[in-house]
């Protein structure tokens, strides 16, 4: 069973599957799910029942932090992945791994790494189109078919060192 849902919807689906006796399925969820996503009691099934349903699932996800932290990031003049992580933690007023709610009313989110890499990817695409290839900005802002094709073409050549690791399409 391939799933592209939020963790809560996956738990709801697993609960319903349990109720009708649909067992021994291999679930393959995609996306970002909190740690121990299967162990949150927010369905009308017992948490143990959802846990039973989730046994043997195969997950496709991402690394939030690259395994070689001293690699220079492509979208920086001199920042390594370790520097980015240290700076990110400092701006949260946190030690590494501290995801607790802040006095300001927010909790840090590791999706900041995917966001940073996405911003880098878009910046590189725009640089290629506008600076390297000389595409007029109006070709992109007018949402033309040719502008779209150029943007997709540039994105298809993505290959850079990001916060999460090598980002390549």
Q: The whole model's pTM is what?
A: 0.66
Residue 31's pLDDT band (boundaries 50, 70, 90)? Answer: low
Q: For the chain, which residues make up each domain, given as ranges?
A: 2-54, 81-168
- Give the pLDDT confidence of 96-137 residue by residue, as tens digits: 888 888 888 888 887 788 889 999 999 999 999 999 999 999
Of 88, 83, 81, which Cα lies nearest the Cα of 66?
Answer: 81
Residue 6 confidence (pLDDT) above 70 = yes
Q: Give the E-state strand segments of the chain in sequence order.
A: 2-3, 28-29, 159-161, 166-168
Please report the pLDDT score of residue 60 as a whole number.
61
């Amino acid at each position: 069973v391939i799933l592209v849902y939020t963790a809560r919807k996956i738990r709801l689906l697993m609960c319903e599957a349990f109720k009708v006796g649909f067992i021994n399925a291999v679930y393959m969820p995609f996306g970002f799910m909190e740690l121990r996503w299967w162990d949150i009691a927010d369905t009308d099934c017992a948490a143990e029942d959802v846990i039973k349903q989730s046994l043997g699932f195969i997950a496709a996800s991402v690394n939030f932090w690259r395994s070689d932290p001293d690699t220079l990031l492509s979208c920086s003049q001199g920042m390594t992945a370790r520097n980015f992580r240290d700076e990110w933690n400092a701006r949260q007023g946190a030690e590494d791994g501290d995801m607790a709610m802040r006095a300001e009313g927010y909790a840090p989110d590791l999706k900041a790494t995917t966001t940073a890499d996405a911003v880098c990817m878009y910046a590189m695409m725009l640089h290629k189109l506008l600076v390297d290839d000389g595409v007029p900005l109006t070709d992109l802002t007018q949402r033309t078919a040719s502008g779209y094709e150029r943007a997709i073409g540039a994105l298809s050549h993505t290959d850079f060192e990001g916060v999460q690791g090598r980002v390549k399409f």
